[in-house]
Amino acid sequence: MEAGTVGGIVGGTVRRNTGRHGDSRLITDLMGLLGVAHVLVDPDLTAGYETDWTGAFTGRATAVARPGSTDEVAAVLRICAAHGVPVVPQGGNTGLVGGSVPAGAAIGAVVLSLRRLTAIEPVDAAAGLVTAGAGATLADVQAHARAAGLDSGVDLAARDSATLGGIAATNAGGERVLRHGMTRGQVAGLEAVLADGRVVRRLTGLPKDNVGYDLPALFVGSEGTLGVITRVQLRLVGLPSARTTALIALADITSAVELLARLRTAAGSLDAVELMFDDGIDLVRAHQGLPSPFPDRPADRSRPSGAHNTPYLLVECAGRTDPSDELAAVVETATGVLDVAVATTPTEQARLWAYREGHTAAVNALGVPVKLDVAVPLSRITAFIDGLRELVPAVARPARLHLWGHLAEANLHVNVTGLDRDDSRGREKLTDVILTRVAADGGGIGAEHGVGRAKMAWAGLSRSPAELAVIAAVKHALDPACLLNPGVLVPPYGIALTPGPPVPPA
């Protein structure tokens, strides 16, 4: 990485603000740099930056700074360092673990919004790369790449708002991981600004470039704790010209896992295998006013014995030639298939995807969920799900469990509604019980959304003390004053990290 601007690092301790707007010298300095229009202090204007997508995390910012270039990002960071005020980087604010807002240890921080960094450079088709500003939305990058005959290997339902910077910072997963891997594998290079204003940049686009540590990869998944990402160089993948999508009702999860195995071995065009249940589909239908995906079918044909937990797989195959026959050949010979709806046009496919992608909003409409994002080995997934259906009502009442996810990565989104937003003890207890079960089953407590503020206290269930010490050492080396996103991923300095929920105040 090149060393860029070397700013005046300011040592000393970080001053924690009270959360009240009105740090006039800091605000004056920021306004002097960015102009009044790009430093928001009016609560009506800052509100949208202060609460996360789920509504679970909220806190007042001293100001929202909206720089328009890498140099301005560096200057904002130098000013905040000089004032000892922490910074919360924010992209589309679609993150689901509370890392994008000034809550908890970051109350009173400056929210550094990257949304003005939207430039997208021309696609380099020969290298299969595109470089874009951190504030470019995934949807805009996808449209840009597709116009050049290529595509992004990363895709997720929040594409219209989620930014490349946020996607890199969270190492986002999404719906195409089984074919293209997580975001980390798609980031060829990036540019980031350190807490002291220095710029590090690796955007050569050379796939073979071995000189020690892979610094761009270090920032991927760092959740705004090591630097502010300002540009991202994304690998591009081939643009399929034909897609076939099938929504398949199955007798049970075992049948779903068997179908996944058959698809992997027999369908080279396999692009997505998403899991949901009929209670989730019903919820999305009620939320969006959608018809049944199987209009010709009696209402409960896919619910043997009246059960309300029939699993569904949304399977998509994509390629340069029509993958319909390849997909049909697997599905026709699979066991436990109760119903299939097939879509081959973009309009029909969007209708099927709406049942899957509508889950997040439909669940949130019921109230602020306890939102967990776990992975458990596929060999244990049936027992894990059965266990959850018993465990959740036993631990929390009233509680409603919602399950869906990305089956190919054994990634389950475990959401529980019914608990009061302010019932922090109840929420922590439920989180603790579920994540402890996940760890006991050999799973991971954070699959694709990151750790953020929501899971920080449980990181020790998925990482050893030695690993946590290395993570803390890297954080300390790059951000010794703990200015960047305090309370996310790494405990604010001076607070020991132990597995289990934070000890509630007496």
Interface ranges with ligand FAD (CB under 6 A)? 53, 88-96, 99-100, 114, 134, 156-158, 161-163, 165-167, 169-170, 172-174, 223-224, 228-229, 360, 448-449, 452, 485, 488
Which of 330/406 has CB closer to ligand FAD?
406
Q: Work out whether the CA dihedral 353, 356, 360, 365 comes out positive or negative.
A: positive
Which of 109/156 has CB closer to ligand MLT?
156
To ligand MLT, the closest distance from the beta carbon of 356 in angstroms equals 7
| Nearest partner of 139 among 152, 122, 125, judged by Cα | 152
User: 3-state class of 136 per DSSP?
Assistant: coil
User: What burial class does residue 430 get, using C-beta atoms within 10 Å of its C-beta: 0-12 exposed, 13-18 middle, 19+ buried?
Assistant: buried
- Choosing from 78, 235, 359, 463, the residue that interacts with ligand MLT (CB under 6 A) is 359
To ligand MLT, the closest distance from the beta carbon of 279 in angstroms equals 15
To ligand FAD, the closest distance from the beta carbon of 253 in angstroms equals 20
Cβ pair 218, 227 in contact under 8 A: no
Amino acid at 495: I
Which residues on neighbouring strands pair with residue 131, listed in sequence order? Answer: 233
Cβ pair 123, 236 in contact under 8 A: yes
To ligand FAD, the closest distance from the beta carbon of 408 in angstroms equals 12
Q: From ligand MLT, ligand FAD, none, which one binds at residue 413 (CB under 5 to 8 Å depending on kind)?
A: ligand MLT
To ligand MLT, the closest distance from the beta carbon of 360 in angstroms equals 3
| Nearest partner of 431 among 481, 360, 369, judged by Cα | 369
Which of 72/155 has CB closer to ligand MLT?
155
Alpha-carbon 224 to chain mean position: 13
Q: Enumerate the H helices of 333-464 as residue ranges.
A: 346-357, 359-364, 381-395, 424-440
Which of 158/468 has CB closer to ligand FAD?
158
To ligand FAD, the closest distance from the beta carbon of 199 in angstroms equals 13
Which of 73/277 has CB closer to ligand MLT?
277
CA quadruple 143, 131, 155, 169: dihedral, nearest 10? -140
Token couple for 328: 């049909």
Which of 75/277 has CB closer to ligand MLT?
277
To ligand FAD, the closest distance from the beta carbon of 336 in angstroms equals 26
428 phi and psi angles, rounded to 5 deg: -65, -40
Site for ligand MLT in 11-70 (CB under 6 A): none
Token couple for 350: 């969007």
Q: Within 13 Å of residue 16, how many CA atoms lie on the same side as its CB?
A: 14
To ligand FAD, the closest distance from the beta carbon of 298 in angstroms equals 32
To ligand MLT, the closest distance from the beta carbon of 76 in angstroms equals 30
Q: What is the DSSP string of 8-59?
A: ----SPPPPP-S-S--HHHHHHHHHHH-GGGEE-SHHHHHHHHB-TTSS-B-
**Contact flags string 148-187 toward ligand MLT, x per CB under 6 A:** ---------x------------------------------
**Contact flags string 372-411 toward ligand MLT, x per CB under 6 A:** -x--------------------------------------
- Choosing from 186, 360, 417, 431, the residue that interacts with ligand MLT (CB under 6 A) is 360
Of all residues in the shown chain, the one whose CB is closest to ligand MLT is 360
Which of 224/369 has CB closer to ligand FAD?
224
Match 């994509």 to its residue by tokens. 318
Q: From ligand MLT, ligand FAD, none, which one binds at residue 235 (CB under 5 to 8 Å depending on kind)?
A: none
Q: Work out whether the CA dihedral 4, 10, 12, 14 comes out positive or negative.
A: negative
Binding site for ligand MLT (CB under 6 A): 96, 157, 359-360, 373, 413
